[in-house]
Every structure is written in C-alpha cells, then in structure tokens.
C-alpha cells in the first residue's frame, strides 16, 4: 500500500489517540512535566490497548510499524512519538523498573534473582505468564522444578500476582 493511501488511516488513528488522551489525567500530568507513577502509566497503556485495539481500528505495534515505519514496543512509545514526549518511558522500561523494585523488596538469593530475571524476560516477550510457563524453557535450564525449590507455593503465587499487575 502506498504511503499516500495510508494518510486517511493515519489521520483517523491520530484523531482517535488525541480524543482518548485529551482528558486523561495521566496524559495531562505528563504534558505538564509532572511525575506520574508506573501504575498510572500501566493504566494508560491498558486504556490505549483496550480502546485503540478494537475491531474498527486494531492499533498494534505491528500495525504502527506498517503505517508509520516506526518500530515501537508499546502504545506509550507511540504516544511519545506522536506528541514529542521524550520523557515518557516505554512499557519495557516500566517492567524493568518494577522487577528491580520487586527484587529489592525481598531477601532473594542469587539463584532466585537470576530466575526472576528470566521471568522478566519471558514476561516481556509474551506479555503474560502462567504457572505452566515456569516449567518450560528457559526455566528448565535452572534445573528440575527450580521454581518450586526456590520459591515454594506461596512465593510462586506472589510472583505471578506481581507479574499480573504488569500485564496490559
């Protein structure tokens, strides 16, 4: 499809994004240069995905790449591009920061921390994580049932609960 054919679609996308964020308090705070929490940024990413990912528009990272020739890893990154908001972090940055804080809050040993880094990587790739995933590669490289040995049932539940808070 020629770039000229994409102009109306791009205008429609940009107008929908503008309509969505114009009254959003998190977006308004970002524009004013005020600090916003990771929870607020995650909520904004979820809102963008739910609203713009619908059947009539179906805005995804792959479609952004096709229409804009822009490689983004989240809709927050697309907002940063559209509105020139250099300080707006990517979803990946938020996930990394949240994992670092999660690890810092617990007395994890080196093996557990390495396992959690693998959890972070798999979660980032899949954007979700289930108990069954913890028994598949790359987690099998830590040894048989490493997640059970190092975290126990309560630790696994806490880990998955934490990861679920990052899901968009």
Those residues with Cβ within 8 angstroms of residue 136's Cβ, 6 or more apart along the chain or in another chain:
none
pTM of the model: 0.87
CA–CA gap between residue 16 and residue 123 (Å, rounded) = 29
Paired tokens of 8: 């109306």
Residues 58 and 101 in one domain: no
Q: Domain boundary at 28, 54, 89, which?
A: 89
Residues 106 and 153 in one domain: yes
Per-residue pLDDT at 1? 46
Domain count, the chain: 2
Those residues with Cβ within 8 angstroms of residue 145's Cβ, 6 or more apart along the chain or in another chain:
135
Question: 118-135: per-residue pLDDT in tens?
Answer: 999 999 999 999 999 999
């Amino acid at each position: 499809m020629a770039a000229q054919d994409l102009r109306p679609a791009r205008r429609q996308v940009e107008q929908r994004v503008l309509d969505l964020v114009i009254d959003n308090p998190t977006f308004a705070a970002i524009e004013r240069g005020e600090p916003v929490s990771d929870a607020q940024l995650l909520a904004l990413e979820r809102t963008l995905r739910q609203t713009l990912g619908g059947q009539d528009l179906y805005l995804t990272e792959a479609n952004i790449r096709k229409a804009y020739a822009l490689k983004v890893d989240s809709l927050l990154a697309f907002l940063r591009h559209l509105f020139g908001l250099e300080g707006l972090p990517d979803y990946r940055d938020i996930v990394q920061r949240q994992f670092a804080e999660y690890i810092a809050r617990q007395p994890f040993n080196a093996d557990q921390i390495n396992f959690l880094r693998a959890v972070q990587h798999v979660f980032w790739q899949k954007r979700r994580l289930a108990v069954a995933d913890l028994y598949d590669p790359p987690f099998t490289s830590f040894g048989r049932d490493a997640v059970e040995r190092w975290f126990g049932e309560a630790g696994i539940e806490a880990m998955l609960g934490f990861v679920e808070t990052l899901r968009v």
